[in-house]
């Protein structure tokens, strides 16, 4: 299922679930204006199509003591498949690495690392991360504050409620 096949009910279901992943079928049905049976069917279709990839609890890292986030840009010695795979396997094994993105531009990867503080980050960097083979250089940036947080982008709602985002055809409006 691609985004242009989603109707206003599907988009509504997605928006409700983004705000409350524990919403019941009845709550979803009430929110989008359908009965529970078609909502359950639509939910199964969204899951089977891979639009909904899972359900998870949002955990506040700072409540667990991981108050220090650092963005780390990494350049590898070589940008060949085996070097990329080796680096990715290494970073996936580190619990401190929360996010990792393969990038375009003058850096190969962008990572977000969460630790308890600067000394924990330094310890991770010097005793673990710098030992990953194939790393040519590392640049760290410390964020001052998060301006916007999101999980994923969905289709937009308009003033009429849950509306499908449409595209125009060639030369049409």
Query: Per residue in 83-94, pLDDT tens?
Result: 999 999 999 999
| pLDDT (mean) for 22-46 | 97
| pLDDT (mean) for 124-137 | 97
Whether the pLDDT of residue 166 is over 50: the answer is no
Query: Per residue in 59-91, pLDDT tens?
Result: 999 999 999 999 999 999 999 999 999 999 999
DSSP secondary structure letter of residue 96:
T
Query: Per residue in 46-60, pLDDT tens?
Result: 999 999 999 988 899
Residue 39 and residue 103 in contact, taking contact as beta carbons nearer than 8 Å: no
Find the range with the poorest average confidence among 15-29, 127-141, 158-172: 158-172
Q: What is the pLDDT of residue 163?
A: 46
Whether the pLDDT of residue 4 is over 80: the answer is no
Look over the chain and give the mean of its residue pLDDT values, rounded to a whole number: 89
The domain made up of 61-141 has a fold known as Alpha-Beta Plaits (3.30.70)
Q: What is the pLDDT of residue 171?
A: 43
Burial class (CB in 10 A: 0-12, 13-18, 19+), 18: middle
The closest of 36, 1, 2, 4 to 13, measured between CA atoms, is 36
Residue 51 and residue 1 in contact, taking contact as beta carbons nearer than 8 Å: yes
Burial class (CB in 10 A: 0-12, 13-18, 19+), 147: exposed
The domain made up of 3-48 has a fold known as Arc Repressor Mutant, subunit A (1.10.10)
- pTM reported for the whole predicted model: 0.78
Residue 128 and residue 94 in contact, taking contact as beta carbons nearer than 8 Å: yes
Q: What is the pLDDT of residue 164?
A: 42
Domain-by-domain residue ranges, the chain? 3-48, 61-141
Q: Which is more confident, 17 or 155? A: 17
Longest dimension (CA), the chain: 59
Q: What is the pLDDT of residue 157?
A: 61
């Amino acid at each position: 299922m691609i985004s242009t096949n989603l109707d206003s009910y599907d988009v509504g279901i997605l928006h409700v679930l983004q705000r409350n992943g524990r919403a019941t079928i009845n709550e979803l049905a009430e929110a989008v204006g359908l009965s529970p049976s078609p909502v359950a069917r639509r939910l199964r279709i969204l899951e089977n199509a891979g639009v909904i990839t899972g359900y998870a609890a949002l955990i506040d890292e700072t409540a667990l003591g991981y108050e220090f986030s650092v963005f780390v840009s990494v350049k590898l010695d070589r940008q060949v498949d085996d070097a990329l795979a080796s680096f990715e396997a290494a970073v996936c094994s580190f619990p401190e690495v929360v996010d990792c993105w393969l990038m375009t531009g003058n850096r190969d990867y962008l990572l977000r690392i969460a630790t308890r503080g600067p000394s924990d980050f330094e310890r991770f960097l010097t005793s673990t991360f710098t030992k990953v083979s194939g790393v040519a250089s590392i640049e760290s940036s410390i964020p001052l504050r998060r301006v916007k947080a999101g999980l994923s982008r969905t289709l937009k709602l308009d003033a009429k409620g849950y509306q499908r985002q449409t595209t125009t055809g060639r030369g049409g409006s």
